[in-house]
Each structure stands twice: as C-alpha cells, then as structure tokens.
Amino acid sequence: MVGLVLSVAGGVEIIPTNSTNEISTGNTLRKIGSILLLVGWLACLGLNVLFLFGIRQVWQGDRLLVYFGLASAPFLLVRLIYLLGLCFATNSKIFDTFSPNIWALAFLQVVMECIVFILFSCVGILVPKIKQTTEQDGPGNGSFPDQVTKLGQNSQLEVIP
C-alpha cells in the first residue's frame, strides 16, 4: 500500500507546471514507490512458492488460490517492469510518462492487468464454497459457537483433507 501511495503522490508531483523541486521530489517518490511495489511482488511470489512446496498442508479448497497466484505472477511482473521503466528510463520513446507509446501501454499495462483480473475471477468461481454442516454443528460437539455457525462456517475447517 505504501508503494502505491508513493507512486500516486509522485505522479501528482511531476506535472510539468510544477516547480523543478516538486518534479524532482515526485520522481523520487515514484522511484521509491515502484521499488516498494517490486519488493511486495517478490514477497507475494515467495509466499506462493512456499505454499506450493507445502501444498499438502493447504486446505484442499484453497489449493487453486496457490496455483492461480503463481500463474498471475509473470503477468504482474510484466506490469511492474513497465512501471519501473516509466520511473527509471529517461529519454525513452517507449517509457515516456507524458506521451506513452500506446501499444506498449496497452500490452504491458492494460492487457496484463486484465489477464490477472480474469485469473482471479476464475479462481473465485472455481473455489468451493464453505458449506454449513447441520449434523456436525451445534453446542457440545466441539464445534464453533452458534453465532459463527450461522455465518456458514464449516466445523471441519480445522481438518486439512
């Protein structure tokens, strides 16, 4: 979140009508923000790889999240490389902030985000819903309290199939 906020704040500061000091500060904020976003992507990738190696310990219904998370990583990386190019490439025809190459922008940013959106929409549809089991739920059976059970929680969530 900090990387995103810094990138947006930096983008606001680099407007050509601002002073050179404000533009310099904006460029610095954009660079720091893009590096933080890259660190966040690396952390997410590391967690997904860690979950992949321990996939047997991930609840069966959530295993698709690990696979789709790994499948989305390359597309997010392309998006991050484009962002890094916008921040660090100077005098580039492809990575120009105020006059971007429309094809590079469309492919490296918009299409990548659409693919990730579609992947996570698919996984949201495919992941099984948590179902309430009436024969196992209830007081005295070692299950969750009644108010939690009414929210549709399954008393079997603690058991990894």
HEC letters along 74-130: HHHHHHHHHHHHHHHCCCCCCCCCCCCCHHHHHHHHHHHHHHHHHHHHHHHHHCCCC
Q: Which residues contact 57 (CB under 8 A, 6 or more apart)?
A: 160
Which residue range is the domain that position 38 belongs to? 2-149
Residue 150 confidence (pLDDT): 42
Asked whether residue 153 carries a pLDDT value surpassing 50, the answer given is: no
59 in Cβ contact with 161 (< 8 Å): yes
| pTM confidence score | 0.71
Residue 22 confidence (pLDDT): 86
Condensed to tens digits (0 to 9), the pLDDT of residues 116-128 reads: 999 999 988 888 8
Is residue 60 situated within a structural domain? Answer: yes
pLDDT band at 103; cut points 50, 70, 90:
confident
Is residue 160 situated within a structural domain? Answer: no
- Using CA atoms, how far apart are residues 17 and 59, in angstroms rounded to an integer? 54
Number of folded domains that form the chain = 1
